[in-house]
Structure 1
Amino acid sequence: MPPRPESTSTLSTLLADSEPAPKRTRIRKEFAASFPVLIAVTLGSGLGIGSLPAFTLPLFIGPLHDAFGWPKSEVGMAYSVLTAMIFLCGPLAGRLADRLGARRVIAVSVVLFALAMVVTAQMHGSIGWFYGGYFLLGLGGAGTTYVCYAKILSARFDAGRGLALGVMMTGPGMMAVLAPLFLPAFIDAHGWRIAWLALAALALLPLLLLFGLVHGARGTQVASRHAREGASVAAIAEGATLGQAVRMRQFWLMIAATFLIMFALVGTQINLIAVLTETGSSKAEAARLTSVLGLSMLVSRIVCGSLLDLLFAPLVGATVTLVSALGMLLAAQGGIAGALTVIALGISLGTETDFMAYVASRYFGLRAFSEIFGWIFGFMALGAASSPLWTGMLQHALGTFRTGLYLSSALLVVAAACIAALGRYPAAYGHEASRAQGGAPEAA
């Protein structure tokens, strides 16, 4: 059985770091030794299933409507097919990554992901073909999610794991920023079929970095460094199995929190311009503020990642979630600058994935990390997929987004309570995290 988390300590103990200078030195050493790996997984996450088809789909809706006459709303439903496949296949990809090595699973999945794009580019009159293409994208590309890339990073970063995961998650953020700048012009010049083929070629790029920069998939370099620093090599690979994790309250608290956060926020994100105009912003101002959302997500990933390495992670996560709850509440009241609402939305959406990856590695270890995080990430995708549905239905029934904003604020408070209830890390699964709480690592 995995060790039971100890009782929650006082706030001063949670914020304590008994060896700040040595820890900063370890962080610098980890980044110096594994910086090429960080570059590889950041690019991979930006060109994987969690980013590339999601952020480019809106740019294909118009061209596909013009080519086949499909209703734009039906084209957008392909995103629901994709998220359903992530929910179903993510845990399986994680299980394979834990047993076969994340790099092998990613390499195979990248190839299948690119081939699925080629198939999608061949579609003709039936929208069922398009849905089938996104089904294949979800099936073949399941190993390109953050689940597998976070496994590689977590095996190489310990003292700087939070910052490393935050940097990795800037990959999808950059895709969200760059795709609208370049892809529409490419589609206009060459057509949507060639654009899909170009994206398929782009999706293969992580293979070069994975084989050129990532040597091995089990973090032997970081393990040996920790061994030289007095840590147990065995502790790096220890952890709970999925069967053990599901018997721990932390597993279900993480699933509840991540589902509620995405369920509360994604619907607002999708309808952001309408929400902002209803709550006091002009249409021109609301359009400008959409870029603030992307910027706040990028900045929050780095800032939150750094804080995870310095402070007790549930304290950081609960605080960020409560800030977003306050932002939704103020937005529902109206009369405030729209930028505050957008920033509150962005910091929570920007930190959710890397925060959950970080705490999963600390509470459950790395033994079955990808499989466990695969389930957490799956419920994250489920919350994201269902959020626009309830937001739209509520707005249609009541004629306003304000009620949804109040409800979102309440759901975020519940999510913050779930995060705050996680308790202390099990010391056996990470000596750096244990030391940050004022405890000593267990001897091997």
Structure 2
Amino acid sequence: MDNKTLGSEEWKSHWPLVLTAFLGMSYPAIAYYSIGLFIEPLSRDFGWSRTEIAVGASISAIVTIPIMPLVGALVDRWGVRFLALPGTVLTAACISSFALANGNLTLWGLLWGFFALCQAFLKTTIWTAAVMSRFVAARSLAIAITLCGASFANIVVPPLARWLIEDYGWRTSYIALGVGWGIPVFLLCMFFLFDGHDDRRQKKQRGVAGQVVYAHGLSIRQALRSGPILRIGGATLITLLLTACLVVHQVPLLVEAGLSRALAAYLASLSGFGAIAGSLISGWLMDRYHAGWVGAITNALAALALVLLLEPFRTPALIVVAMLVIGYTSGMKLQLCGYLTSVYAGLRNYGKIFGVMASIIAISSALGPMLGGVIYDTTGSYSLFIWAAIPATLFSSFLLLGLGRYPDWAATGEGADTNGPVPAAS
């Protein structure tokens, strides 16, 4: 059976799983993509600064850092269903609990810390591991569609949150977002979220794909000594640090650029369409060209888009172009990290290794929102952030250019129990 036919068979058998992973991927993201809309009412009611409001998201990301490798190990041991079902229920409770904020910053931080513990069971590792266990020939596109879930949240949440806040108040809005989004995610997980571990427990025979998913790959020790893995981690840290800052501060940043709050919210949503295009197009490109080169060129485009947001250049038309390009580039960053990790580390210990990558992502998510808030509160503008982000983005491009050729895991036969050297790229 050729790859095209095998890929078609994979989609026929497992498209409900991809739909489940897509919506599941979007769920934790709603808390982050909506926070920019809650900044104004929270500041008005409690007198908080933007840094104080954004620090909640940073606390959440910090708490997540040590948890993600453990989550990855649990995925490798028990599978995704074991974590996703209770994680969905707890995350619904956590997002709803933001309505309990009363002006006490300690309580605000505790609410975000509790959210971090619960949404860790719904992070990228869960959904990509599920999809990778079912798809081989069509893996890149399946991962791309899965990761579009976060972009879907970016499209829907800003205008939805604005409408809810203006018509029902910010407390009711948090409850509506938490419960209203959580119910369909839970139902889809209940009926369709099964991976290779479930097959093993139930002793099912696989019809398509997945036979060699857990066969080869680096150990954690080998991954920590792998040049390509370290480069991927460095590029991920830089790009997602900047992305996290932009996600939280994009609405205030656009208002500073002269747009109305309503238009800024819709432009933030528009960048979500660009992110979906970025994820899907990059998935298609990475099946055909070296993913490191695809990522490097895309990051260079992001640096160009940031230039368009600077005072000497920005116009309403160029701001729209910049948001579309930034959205496009942000849409492929998680996709790039997940795909490159699976390529250069193999899949035997994917959960553990990508769990470490998820900790790097969490570090970026922790520092990014606070960085933007501190820069704005100190300078009264986001311009310094944009000027610093341009060379940083170009450096991340340089890191991705030096990854080398893909390892051939089938040829090396490298496994998790092997203590030999990291296989050379073929």
How far did 1:37 drift?
0.5
1:121-157 deviations in whole A, cap 9, x for unaligned? 4454533222211111101221101111110011112
Amino acid at match of 2:121: G
Residues 24 and 185, structure 2, Cα contact 8 Å, conserved in 1? yes
Q: 1:331 to 1:95 in 2, by over 3 A?
A: same
Distance (whole Å) between structure 1 residues aligned to residue 141 and residue 105 of structure 2: 42
Distance (whole Å) between structure 2 residues aligned to residue 277 and residue 75 of structure 1: 18
Residues 50 and 377, structure 2, Cα contact 8 Å, conserved in 1? no
Q: 1:56 to 1:356 in 2, by over 3 A?
A: same
Bigger shift: 359-368 or 194-203? Answer: 194-203
Is residue 304 of structure 2 the alignment partner of residue 308 of structure 1? no
Q: 1:403 to 1:418 in 2, by over 3 A?
A: same
How far did 1:79 drift?
1.0
Distance (whole Å) between structure 2 residues aligned to residue 123 and residue 282 of structure 1: 31
Partner residue, 1:283: 259
Q: 1:304 to 1:137 in 2, by over 3 A?
A: same
Is residue 14 of structure 2 the alignment partner of residue 31 of structure 1? no
Is residue 357 of structure 2 the alignment partner of residue 376 of structure 1? yes
Partner residue, 1:441: none
How far did 1:191 drift?
4.9
Is residue 138 of structure 2 the alignment partner of residue 155 of structure 1? no
Is residue 225 of structure 2 the alignment partner of residue 225 of structure 1? no
Partner residue, 2:343: 362
Is residue 219 of structure 2 the alignment partner of residue 241 of structure 1? yes
Partner residue, 2:313: 335
Partner residue, 1:412: 393
For residue 21 of structure 2, the aligned residue among 41, 47, 52 is 41
Partner residue, 1:101: 79
Residues 97 and 175, structure 2, Cα contact 8 Å, conserved in 1? no
Residues 263 and 383, structure 1, Cα contact 8 Å, conserved in 2? yes
Partner residue, 1:254: 232
Distance (whole Å) between structure 1 residues aligned to residue 149 and residue 376 of structure 2: 33
Residues 156 and 222, structure 1, Cα contact 8 Å, conserved in 2? no
For residue 212 of structure 1, the aligned residue among 187, 191, 205 is 191
Q: Which runs of 5+ in 2 are unaligned?
A: 413-426
Q: 1:226 to 1:383 in 2, by over 3 A?
A: closer
1:310-366 deviations in whole A, cap 9, x for unaligned? 222112111111222233345558436233422332222111011111111111122
Partner residue, 1:176: 154
Q: 1:32 to 1:357 in 2, by over 3 A?
A: same
Distance (whole Å) between structure 2 residues aligned to residue 289 and residue 212 of structure 1: 35
Question: How many residues align structurally?
Answer: 402
Residues 158 and 430, structure 1, Cα contact 8 Å, conserved in 2? no
For residue 296 of structure 2, the aligned residue among 308, 318, 327 is 318
Residues 289 and 339, structure 1, Cα contact 8 Å, conserved in 2? yes
For residue 410 of structure 1, give the secondary structure of its aligned residue in structure 2: helix
Residues 365 and 429, structure 1, Cα contact 8 Å, conserved in 2? no
Is residue 402 of structure 2 the alignment partner of residue 426 of structure 1? no
Partner residue, 2:52: 74
TM-score (normalizing by structure 1): 0.79
Q: 1:151 to 1:429 in 2, by over 3 A?
A: farther
How far did 1:251 drift?
1.9
Q: 1:121 to 1:297 in 2, by over 3 A?
A: same
For the aligned residue pairs, the C-alpha RMSD in angstroms reads 3.3
Amino acid at match of 1:385: A
For residue 42 of structure 1, give the secondary structure of its aligned residue in structure 2: helix
How far did 1:224 drift?
4.8
Q: Which runs of 5+ in 1 are unaligned?
A: 1-20, 228-232, 432-444
How far did 1:405 drift?
3.3
Partner residue, 1:10: none
For residue 423 of structure 1, give the secondary structure of its aligned residue in structure 2: coil
Distance (whole Å) between structure 1 residues aligned to residue 212 and residue 236 of structure 2: 30
Residues 238 and 365, structure 1, Cα contact 8 Å, conserved in 2? yes
